[in-house]
Structure 1
Amino acid sequence: MMQENTSQDGTIVHIHLSRLGIAFKYSVSSNTTSREYSDMCIKEEQWFGTLTGLKSGLLLTPLLGKNQGLENYPYRKLIVPFGKIYSANNPNTKHQTVTIGRSSMTSSLQQYFVFILNDRLRILQSTDSPTGWLYLALLHTMTSHPLPDEYTGTTGMERAFQLLKSAGSWPDQPFDARSLNILGQIAAISPKVDYYPKHLTSMEQIDWNIIPCNILFII
């Protein structure tokens, strides 16, 4: 939904993303600023060097004052909707395209996650533990490639393993519905390993799920 108000400085457009529950304000004379994060605006260049192929997400950057620089305000935020993640090979880019499907049931769950880009450590960090860490691991997995990401210096799969092994992914209480949903998506793309023959432990049989070849290459 969009509303226009006229002021002395010109026209101001209010942009409401109702399905996510967030809003922005745009005017010709300034940046598109966030309602939820009043000191941040939508970054014109949305590429940030990792999660390559992800089509659902919005990168925010700090509003810099006259005497400020990014070295004094060293973080950006990435807003990613919550939902079921799908991946498909893109023959034009040689990299999978990752989209997020949002069903009618999603409205009862968390609408989106916010990740901080830590430019000192060159990693994405979640503001929600453990659910956000699990979702970030899933995103890194689905966007992984045999070559390391420019921002993190590691492949998406390597970063996903780091996140799943970190303390942030281990709660001090039972997993909630959102976390179980994400863990189910991770399990769905994980290979199934059984002993072969089942009564022996000398050999293994691996059943691969149907996922993009770029991911299979590095599992």
Structure 2
Amino acid sequence: MTVLVVTGTGTEIGKTVVTAAVAACRDRAVAVLKPAQTGLAPGEPGDAAEVVRLAGGHVTAVELARYPDPLAPATAARRAGLPPVRPYEIAEAAGKLAAEHDLVLVEGAGGLLVRFDEEGSTLADAARLLSAPVVVVTPAGLGTLNTTALTAEALRARGLECLGVVVGSMPAEPDLAARCNLEDLPLVADAPLLGVVPAGAGALAPADFRSRAGSWLSARLGGDRPAG
């Protein structure tokens, strides 16, 4: 597994922290590729930089495009009058990074089918060009089973491998739905539960984050947590 695509069932659910945790579990050269960063001005640290901050100096950060409006990449690019990111550009960039790194993590924007250009290209198209497996990051609570099932179904329909599911932010005191979802997520995704990241993990000191990341993820992602 040289290239791994990290997507989510929506926004603000922990994709960047999960990406950082996977990177932190590797002691070899890792690259994180953010095809389109939205909602930030030039010079502000983006998601890829946050992965480096949390995971450590063995991680290389690459961002292909940045748009100031906090919108879907296609819309943000159009409003900014800037060219969109195309799937082939994502695949080419990931391929070049894979030649120099042991693992390349491609972190999407929002969910799997968020549009990157006016033709309707998505992260799924880039994953297909790369023949890369996909990890789905999902919330812990009520409603997550439906969005996870839809994302997994979209992956299967495109002939893409869903490597597994990671809960991006598990509350310290999970409610009934969150507890039950740990058992039900693998069923609806037809893929294993590969990790559970605690809420607030991204606020940990980087050294603490790195020392604890392995306990959140299964061996398939470099950790030592039993897979569900």
Sort the TM-score into its range (normalised by shorter chain). Answer: under 0.3
Between Structure 1 and Structure 2, the one with more strand by share is: 1
Which of structures 1 and 2 has the bigger CA Rg? 1
Q: Hey, which of these two has a bigger chunk of helix by percent?
A: 2
TM normalised by structure 2 equals: 0.24
Query: Scaled by the length of structure 1, what TM-score is found?
Result: 0.24
Higher relative contact order (CA 8 A, sep 6+): 2
